[in-house]
Every structure is written in C-alpha cells, then in structure tokens.
Amino acid sequence: MAAAATPTSPEQLTGDLPPHAVEAADVATRVAAAGRVLVVLDDDPTGTQSVHGVPVLTSWTEDDLAWGLQQGAPCVYVLTNTRALGPDDAARTNREVVGAGVAAARRLGVDVSFVSRGDSTLRGHFPLETDVITATLRELGEPVPDAVLVVPAFPDAGRITVDAVHYWCTGGADGTGGTCTPVGETEFARDATFGYTASDLRDWVAEKSAATSSATPVTAADVLALTLAELRRGPEAAADVLRGARDGRVVVVDAADEHDLRVLALAEELLAGEGRRFLHRVGPPFVRARVGMEPREPLAREEVPVGDARGGLVVVGSHVGLTTRQLEQLRGGHPLADQVELDVASVLDGSRREGHLAAVVDRLVAALADGDAVVSTSRVLTTGGDAAASLDIAIAVSRAVVEVVQRVVARTAPRFVVAKGGITSSDVARYGLGIRRAVVRGPLLPGLVSLWEPVEGPAAGVPYVVFAGNVGDDASLLAVVRTLSAAP
C-alpha cells in the first residue's frame, strides 16, 4: 500500500475519471428535509475557513450549544483547540462537548450528528477523538456510529486523496496543474507532536492506532476504502460500499474536488433513510459539502465591518515554512508601523519573561496608533526532547502570545486582528480577545481564510481573521492585510 515516491500531477492521479456532478442545492434540500444539525468539534479554529453564515463557539456549556443550535444554520462549530492539548485534556474536552451537545439537543428537540474536524495534513489526536466521541454517545444512551469516515481532502488548498493515498499538491489553481507529493513525504509528516510516516490512509490509520493505548489496534487490512472510481459512479455506488461498514469500522474516503464530497453527502443521506449513522474525521471543506453549502466568493473590502481605528494587529505563531515566507512578503510589501518579535528564549526564561512581554506590548500599542503592526514568534522553532516536551513549549509560547494580545486590546482597539497559525488563532480568539460566541461571515481568500464577527465581549466590533499556517501561497497574508488595512 505504500505510495509512490515520485511526485505527480492531479491530472495523472485522477486520470480519465470525470466528476459525478452534484449541485449543492440538491444536498441542501435533502439535509433540510432530514432536519439534522452537525455539531463540529474543530480541533483548531481554521476549520471554519470553508463555511459562512454559521455560528462558532469557543465555550461549550449546554446554553452555548443551545444558542448555536437555535441560529437556524445546518451546522455549529465548537472550537475545542484539542490539537494544542495533550491526550488526556483532548479526551476530556471531547466528552464535555458531546455531553453538552446531546443535552442541548434533547432540550430543543433537535437531531444532531457529530463531526471531528481534523487537519488536512493529518496532524491531531486520531483515533483518540473519534473513539471518545463514540464512547460518550454510548454512555449517554445515544445511537453510536456504524462507521467512522476519514475524509481529510481539502481540494481548495491542494490536498487530495486518490486510491486511499493522500497528497499535497502545489503550483496549480484549485487543485489542478502543479505537482502532487504523498503527504507522508512533506514537512507536516515530521511534526514534532503528531508526526507520521504513511501516505496511504489505510496504513496511516493503522500507524496512528498502534501509537494509542487502544486494546484492539486497527490494522490496515481492517480499513475499508471508498475510492474515487466508486464515488464518480454516483451516490448509489458509494452507498453500496458504505453498507459494508458496520460496528464502528474505519472507512477512508477519496476526494479530488467538491463534487466528490457532495456525492458522499448524498450517499450518507440515502443510508440515513435506512437508519445508518456515521461519525466523521475530516478536513475543512467536508462540512460545507455535507450540508449543501455553496462556496462563497471572498469578502470584498467594503463587506468587512472594520472600525475607525488606524492600525490592525497581525499575530504570527505558526512555524511552517509557508508562514515564514508569507511573513517575509508582508514585511516587504506593506507599510508596517512596527514589526515586533516575541523571543521564545525570553518567554521560556522566568527571569526575563515579564520585562520582555511588557516591552513588546508597549511597542505594539504605540505602533497601532500610526498603522498596522506585526508581532511574531521567533522563526527558529524550539522543540523539546520528545513530543510531550515540544507540546509544553508550544503551550508556553501560545500563552505568552495570548497575554500580549490581552494587554494590547486592554489599551487600544485594533482595526482588525489577524492570527496566523492554528494554535495561535484559537488561543487569541478564546483568551486573547475573549470571544465566546461569533458568526463566521465568510472567507478572505477562496475557501481558505475565515473572518469571524464576534457577537459579544471585548472583541465585539473587531473583525477577527483565522489564518491557518499551511494554506495559501507566499503572497496570501499580504493580500489579506491589504483587504483590511486603512493604508492605501
């Protein structure tokens, strides 16, 4: 099952298999008739990049979930940020969200289904999170899923899955053209906390299962694959494959464009009529396709409700190479009032931490009176001796970033806030800006970068932009800041 090492193109991978065209409206009609709402446990906030007009929560009391379910949207996002947590805390958070979601759904008489939103480059707590969701549903007396569908594809960002092999495609538009590399050969597979070796998702499931404390680890032979060839024969053919999945079996699903995801959605609706239920571990665009939402054009400058403040704040925490190149483009192509580096060594040194943070905050507040400012963590990634130690360092740095944002916002209201990186954008939203409930207004880049409108708290009225570390091209951060900035 090992992937070929030679990079190839999307066209070579998909061959002469034309998409089975499915309109979003067809899916939306079926979903509306079913009346089911998806509760999306988003392991970092960048999962909202593909949707619009839906509620997002950073807190998950029963009342919070009830508010979300009452907004009339087909899905509710709950920002768990579990990618930034250790396994025990991630498990506890999943249990809490499912418990609150079930309680709110019972109170309102709403049928809910759960989605575990993970990373399109395969980082995160899998299978722990889907295992915990299933176990919690069983404990609460709710129906448990017949199968766990693993669908990491993100065609808008060049991540596609063909014949169960997951690829990172670059150099082309909308996943066409360019070069595709098996994801196990990319920098993301070398992640200090969530690294892996396999590109074939069947092998990846087995690899991740073996790394957990599961009493019955899953082997590659246990995993069912729903291939592109089957999807492109239509919903009935896809449903026939899924009928073979019972008792929580893992199914890895191909996808190379939005139509493939919509075919899967219709196949699930067919099976829902037979009483079948599914749990999902997915990349960002799955939810949009699953509920029949049309992709939205990027928000234009005049559609963004910026205030009168002169300067906006850009917070950069991600260390992937793409983010560093995007930061360099921003520095070179946009007039910045200041560029401040949060030095990781100083943050980790108890004797220097407070003085360093105070100096960073003073510089940023002064800069925002004149124009846009950037605060970024040191570009040299600091890691520990093992995965747990590396995660501890990441958490300590994220707390420092949050503290800087809290202090800045307490002294001045930025025109906007852009947060770059998954952990960074989650912690800045929940703790730095105190966002509890918000509405996802839409993307600032096609399907890639999400703008939230906080509905309460200290950030109300401040547009908040969630920008993943691993999306866009080198000029994308510059383009987003230009859309928001008061500078000509």
Instruction: Work out the pLDDT band at 80, boundaries 50, 70, 90.
Output: very high
On the question of pLDDT at 440 being above 90, the answer is yes
Question: Pseudo-torsion of CA 48, 50, 51, 52, nearest 10°?
Answer: 100
Amino acid letter, residue 217:
P
Give the pLDDT score at 380: 63
The string of pLDDT tens digits covering residues 129-143 is 999 999 999 999 999
Give the least confident one: 1-10, 438-447, 455-464.
Answer: 1-10
Give the pLDDT mean for 438-453. Answer: 90
Mean of pLDDT values over 284-304: 94
The answer to whether residues 17 and 53 touch, using CB atoms and an 8 Å cutoff, is no
pLDDT digits 0-9 by tens, 218-271: 999 999 999 999 999 999 999 999 999 999 999 999 999 999 999 999 999 999
Percentage of the chain beyond pLDDT 70 is 95
What local confidence, expressed as pLDDT, does residue 214 receive?
A: 59
Alpha-carbon distance 225 to 227, whole Å?
6
- The answer, yes or no, to whether residue 57 has pLDDT greater than 50, is yes
Share the mean pLDDT of the chain.
91
**pLDDT band of 318, cuts 50, 70, 90:** confident
pLDDT of residue 351: 95
CA–CA distance, 368 with 282 (Å, rounded to integer): 38
Confidence of residue 381 (pLDDT cuts 50, 70, 90): low
Say yes or no to pLDDT of 210 above 50. yes
Q: How far apart are CA 39 and CA 56, in angstroms?
A: 10
pLDDT of residue 461: 83
Cis peptide, bond prior to residue 7, ω within 30 of zero: no
| Both structure tokens of 339 | 């560029």
Dist. CA 479–CA 488, nearest whole Å: 13
What pLDDT, on a 0 to 100 scale, did the predictor assign at position 272?
A: 95
DSSP string, 307-351: -S-S--EEEE---SHHHHHHHHHHHHHS--SEEEEE-HHHHH-TT
Residue type, 393: I
pLDDT at 389 over 80: no
Task: Give whole-number Cα distances, 156 to 8, 120, 168, 443, in Å.
Answer: 18, 11, 11, 12
Amino acid 458: pLDDT: 83
Q: What are phi and psi of 112, to 5 degrees?
A: -120, 155
Separation CA 252–CA 228 (nearest Å): 11
pTM listed for this prediction:
0.86
Where does the pLDDT of residue 215 fall: very low under 50, low under 70, confident under 90, or very high at 90 and above?
Answer: low
Higher pLDDT, 136 or 389: 136
CB 453 within 8 A of CB 307: no
pLDDT at 174: 47
**Which pair of tokens denotes residue 181?**
């590399």
Let me know if 183 is exposed, middle or buried by CB neighbors in 10 A (0-12, 13-18, 19+).
buried
Q: Specify whether the backbone of 287 is left (phi greater than 0), alpha (psi in -120 to 50) or beta.
A: alpha
What is the percentage of the chain residues whose pLDDT exceeds 90?
A: 75
Contact 295, 258 (CB under 8 A): yes
Find the distance separating the first CA and the last CA of the chain, reported in whole Å: 53
Domains annotated on the chain, with CATH: 10-291 (3.40.50.10840), 301-484 (3.40.980.20)
Q: Name which of 15-24, 314-323, 424-433 the model is least confident about.
A: 314-323
Longest dimension (CA), the chain: 64
Confidence bin at 4 (pLDDT 50/70/90): very low
pLDDT in tens, 178-205: 899 999 999 899 998 899 999 999 999 9
Half-sphere exposure of 29 (CA within 13 A, CB side): 5
Give the model's pLDDT for residue 172: 56
pLDDT at 146 over 60: yes
Give me the residues paired with residue 260 across strands.
Answer: none
pLDDT at 55: 97
How far apart (Å, rounded) are the C-alpha atoms in residues 2 and 114? 31
More confident residue, 393 or 99: 99
Tokens 């510059």 locate to: 478
Instruction: With H, G, I as helix, E, B as strand and everything else as coil, classify residue 475.
Output: coil
pLDDT, tens digit, for every residue of 25-53?
999 999 999 999 999 999 987 889 889 99
